[in-house]
Chains A and B, each alone.
Chain A
């Protein structure tokens, strides 16, 4: 077996073997957890056994609220995220393409990016109340500013030769932006969205921990009150799993929508 190729820097690894090793990674995580919890060294209040967590998941499903909680949480994440995308992508394109727009917005966005989104919770409650709007606003605050800056960076990565080639073929300004700059930056933008979606999940939990009576984050908060460590575990693992699924979804879209990037 070509072990030297396997361990060379940035070596090669087939798809099946990659999946197998990833599976071993997950299995050793679960196995380590199971051994540690089963050994009796740690109290179940601090570290519940995997079986107890699985049982709690089934119970959550049985009382009918599991899918309702998942649905409402996904809805909030997507609501805030889609709102941020609709605003950040066009603005990022303008910032990345035109210097005056960059001068106007970019320092402002750099500043806003450092405002701690979590500290906005009291203000958001004051401004938009405790309804769905509050959660969506908080997720928007947490993702929008980063997304604008990252999209404008994607736009600036477009090689100047691609832009100048279009200009010397007779493209006007609008055509250069829509037919060249946007198309060229699109794979990078999709990657930006994939990364920022992860942050949207972070702020969802913040929003649901503060002002909600439904959703996965709220379930975690309530479990804390009753010291149901196993349910906290279920909540955390669920969010991890949903995040992983959405991430894989984005990767699939990337492969389907940009076939030329995945050819050899």
Chain B
């Protein structure tokens, strides 16, 4: 039997209120992410899912509570928690290889590096380029690449730093549906090979259920955890795009989607719309004959 995996991130009573705002962006968040686990954060816009990710990254300071990584409280951004942003984070003056190797120009990575470490870093850069399908474009600049390729570079650059956790903030939000599908397969393969711990923010429920071990639904105003849904699907390595059409997958997707609708006020809007549709149907037939068939 496998030993129980160690807790990697522990979030305790975490709260965040931005200056000048009365409603907390996040309130009383408790969550533990295990070593090697893939957790997706979903929720209606304004539920604080990106804020939660930024708090884990140390890019925002908590108003209450704390985030601990391997038992130590997070004080600020650091190379143990690399972030992949939605867009505009690549360095346009560096080519693909230089972008991926960027962290090797920082003191945090070269301070105590022995020669063999430097050599293995070079090898790792090339291995990552190959893994991400970037070896043919390594001398190109970011503005010569498609959106999907740019996000591959951003992911490779984050992995180059060998972070404890990979944090992804709607990384495929700006990509078209086909490219997104390819990126999903890439992420699953990567997750299998690198065994990384990943926290992934998305507004795409299908993406969340397909990729993650657990889906956390956040509710807005104030931002809080509504429910946590363990995903019961084949392990990442055995998932295939066709799974997205399987009844079991759709059922789990619906469970999550229902919670988001219930917490976001979308259900109210949907009810209102169906009432409107009802009214307009009645207006079109003033003699109140029931509508039958299509004209």
Contact = CB atoms under 8 A, between A and B. Distances in A.
A169 B144 contact: no
A164 B82 contact: no
Nearest to A259: B141
A168 B141 contact: no
Interface residues of A, number: 24
Interface of B: 57-59, 76-79, 81-83, 85-93, 95, 102-103, 105-109, 141-144, 154, 157-158, 161, 167
A184 B154 CA distance: 17
A175 B85 contact: no
A65 interface: no
Nearest to B54: A164
A183 B93 contact: yes
A161 B87 contact: yes
A162 interface: yes
A101 to B, nearest CB: 21
A179 interface: yes
A162 B141 CA distance: 15
A100 B106 CA distance: 26
Interface in A167-190: 167-172, 175, 179-180, 183-184, 186
Given A164-B83, A164-B85, A170 B91 contact: no
Given A162-B90, A162-B91, A175-B105, 10 more contacts: A161-B85, A161-B89, A166-B106, A168-B158, A169-B102, A170-B78, A180-B91, A183-B91, A260-B141, A264-B144
Contacts of B108: 170-172
Contacts of B154: 165
A240 interface: no
B79 A168 contact: yes
Interface string A221-264: 00000000000000000000000000000000000001111011
16 contacts: A159-B88, A161-B85, A161-B89, A162-B88, A164-B83, A164-B89, A167-B59, A167-B76, A168-B77, A169-B82, A170-B79, A175-B106, A175-B107, A179-B105, A180-B91, A183-B93
A170 B87 contact: no
Contacts, number: 85
B138 to A, nearest CB: 14
A181 to B, nearest CB: 11
A56 B92 CA distance: 50
Nearest to B103: A169
Contacts of A172: 106-108
Contacts of B161: 169-170
A95 to B, nearest CB: 22
B107 A165 contact: no
A170 B144 contact: no
Contacts of B76: 167
A166 B161 CA distance: 11
B3 to A, nearest CB: 30
Contacts of A165: 83, 85, 89-90, 154, 157
Contacts of A264: 144
A259 B106 CA distance: 24
A184 B141 contact: no
A261 B142 CA distance: 10
A161 B82 CA distance: 12
Given A161-B87, A183-B93, A168 B78 contact: yes
Nearest to B80: A170
Nearest to A167: B77
Q: Sort A-B residue pairs by CB-CB distance and give the 7 closest, nearest first.
A: A170-B79, A170-B108, A161-B89, A167-B77, A260-B141, A165-B89, A169-B103
Interface in A208-229: none
A261 B94 CA distance: 11
Nearest to B163: A168
A108 to B, nearest CB: 26
A59 to B, nearest CB: 49
